Each structure stands twice: as C-alpha cells, then as structure tokens.
Amino acid sequence: MNLAVQKTLSLLLLLVIGFLLRKKLKDPAQQKGLKTLILTVALPAIIFVALLKAEVQWDLLALPLMALAFNFTLYFILKFSLPLFGLEKDSSSYRTYLLLFPSLAPGLSCFPFLIEYLGDDALAWGALADIGNKIFVLVIAYMIAMSWYFKINNDLKVGNGEKIKSLLLSLINEPINVVIILALVLISLGLHLENLPTFMSTAISTLSNLMTPLVLIFIGIAVVFNWKQIRKIAGLLMIRSGLTFLLSGTILLFAPQLSYAAILVLVVFPQSAISFWPFAHMASVTALEQNNEKKRNKTFDMELAVNILACSLPFSTLVMLTVFSFGELFTSPTTLLVAGILLIGLGILKPMLKWFNLIEYEPALEKETHSS
C-alpha cells in the first residue's frame, strides 16, 4: 500500500477515535480545555522544535508578507464576487462571510499534516508564513469589523485606540508568536536544538509529539454533522477552496523550480480552516450593539458565523487529506487550476440554478421563526 495512503489511514483512525470520544467529552468546557492545551502547549512546542531543527534561511522571512498578500487578495476577490452568489451587498450575512473567509487557522488544520507528511522544514515555513496571517486576523480584521460597526452606527463617536493596543499586545503575547521570536533569536545566535541542554530539548520534543494526535482527536470530537448547515455553507466553502487552488496554481506557473515540499506548503497552507479571531471581533461588535439602546441593523450574523466555523474545520481537514494522499498529483499547476475550476463550478451550481428559477438558493442560514 502507498505510504501516503497508509499515513492518511492512520490519521483517519485518530479522527474516528475522537468521534467515539464525543460522549465522554461533550461538555463545551472540556473541549475548550483540550483546544487550549493544543494552542498553548503542543503547537508552540512543535513549532519551536521545527524551527530549531530546520535550516531557516533569512530570505524565508518573506513568507509572512506572502501570507498577508494572500489574505488581502482573497478579501478583495470575495468583496466583489460574493454578491454574485446570492449575498446582498452590505448585509450582515455578506459582512460575516467577507470577514471570515480570507482568514486562516493553520494551527488546527494545516500544521499537523505538514509535520506528519513533510517534516520539520515545511512546518517551519508554515509557522513563519502564519506571522503575516496573524497580523491580518488579529489587527486588520478587527479594524475592518470596527469600521463597519461605525459605518452602521454613524452617530457614535467612540475611540478604539485601546482595543487596537490590546490586540497588538495579544499578537506579541500569544505563545505561538513568542516561541517563533525566541527560536529566530536562537538561530541568529547559531544555536539549534542539539545545542540546548538535553533535559530541555527532550522535554520540548516530548511535548511536540502530542500535537498531531491531540488535534485530530479534537476535530473528531468537535465536528458537527448538521446536514442543513453543510448544505447551506459548503457551496461557498468550495468556492473559497477553489479560488485558493487557482491562486496557488497561478503562483506555481511562475515558480516551477520550487521543491516538492515547498509546493505542497504553497498548496495546503492557504487551504487552512477559517480562523476563530475574526469571530471574536464579531462577538465584540455584537456586544457593543447589545449595549446600545437604539435598535439598528446588526453588523454581523453571529448564528451564521458559528455555523461557518463548525463546517470549515472538517472541510479543510478533508481537503488536506486529499492533497497529501495524492501529493505528487497536486504539485502540477494544471491539476491545481483544474481542481480550482471544478470546486468553483460545484460551488456556483446552486446560484446558477437559482438564476434559471429551478431551485431556491440562500447562502445564509435561514433562521427558524415560530409564531407565538
């Protein structure tokens, strides 16, 4: 059996184990604790080990800029294309999709597969690229959310400098970013993992080994099989994934000399699940709106946002497993462009049928109302 297929089956087994543990860990507080353990212990440890093991060249520091450029590119593409798929421009649903879709959460959806399939160098590249993505999801997404809030509530004059300062501090204080900075400082001093005291390197390496099983078990526990949600949101997730494949394929046309590992990082990193951070900004805006006495239009649809996040992680996991199971196939620009066109085609199928009045289509989840 192909080694990649065997690796995929072993990872799927961990997902099944997580699914079987759902009844044991159904309390949201328990799931939150598991997620916190992943993001504050296992993920920083594995990134620290990967950076200190890898041969990091300083020209790789361009990776954060490339990731940030991807966020902006996807944002502006979606800004003008979302109305074509049945979303009314400047509606709460439109703003919800537009803020969430350009964001990436590689820690839970991409990094475990990079380390398992490609090794330390690829994970180090992904971690460096994530710095740019973090700037987008923590700072820029917040500014966009607040600008929409003040546009709707134009009679309010509230300074938001303190909140921006708080978010910048969270960017610096987040464990993942701290270990990346620390690792880069050590590398600049010529220190690598083997130069650390044995007890320290052993402890960090042991913690890093927790990463993949914890993440996949968490996905198995947290996945939501709600077919109504999937039916409504999957089409736009396919379009997001298709656009990303097209962008990766286009870049690869101009950089055919990249190594196998570099190509797969270029392909899978932008396929990461949607980040939780824009959702956190939405929650902050919603809290401000609830404190206002005047009834106004909502800036975001929080119910829709929750459902998008619930569908995004399993969808991204499926894409990752598919790409890595057929790794060589997805190193071809032709394959990426065809995959992108096919996914976009599947995503626009319902809107096209709607235009021909064959079916009803509404990308935002309908809220059930009960007459009293």
Q: pTM for this one?
A: 0.74
Residue 83, pLDDT score:
86
pLDDT, tens digit, 9 for 90 and up, residues 104-125? 989 878 988 898 889 888 988 9
pLDDT tens digit string along 140-154? Answer: 888 898 888 888 877
Per residue in 182-198, pLDDT (tens digit) is: 888 888 888 888 888 99
Range from 11-25, 49-63, 120-134 carrying the lowest mean pLDDT? 49-63
Summarised one tens digit per residue, pLDDT across range 39-82 is 788 878 887 887 787 666 666 778 889 999 999 999 999 999 88
Among 19-23, 234-238, 319-323, 349-353, whose mean pLDDT is lowest?
A: 349-353
pLDDT confidence of 2, banded at 50, 70, 90?
A: low
Query: What share of the chain has pLDDT > 90, as a percent?
Result: 24
Give the residue extent of every domain in the chain.
3-355
pLDDT at res. 331:
93
* Residue 23: pLDDT over 80: yes
Domain 3-355 matching CATH 1.20.1530: the answer reads yes
Check pLDDT > 70 for residue 173.
no
Task: Please say if the pLDDT value at position 237 is more than 90.
Answer: yes
pLDDT value of residue 55: 64
Percent of the residues in the chain that have a pLDDT greater than 70, as a whole number: 82
| Averaged pLDDT, 219-230 | 69
Task: Return the HEC string of the chain.
Answer: CCHHHHHHHHHHHHHHHHHHCCCCCCCHHHHHHHHHHHHHHHHHHHHHHHHHHCCCCHHHHHHHHHHHHHHHHHHHHHHHHHHHHCCCCCCHHHHHHHHHCCCCEHHHHCHHHHHHHCCHHHHHHHHHHHHHHHHHHHHHHHHHHHHHHHHHCCCCCCCCHHHHHHHHHHHHHCHHHHHHHHHHHHHHCCCCHHHCCHHHHHHHHHHHCCHHHHHHHHHHHHCCCCHHHHHHHHHHHHHHHHHHHHHHHHHHHHCCCCCHHHHHHHHHHHHCECCCHHHHHHHHHHHHHHHCCCCCCCCCCHHHHHHHHHHHHHHHHHHHHHHHHCCCHHHCHHHHHHHHHHHHHHHCHHHHHHHCCCCCCCCCCCCCCCCC
More confident residue, 195 or 157: 195
pLDDT band at 27; cut points 50, 70, 90: confident
- Amino acid 294: pLDDT: 59
Give the pLDDT confidence score for residue 160 in this predicted structure.
54
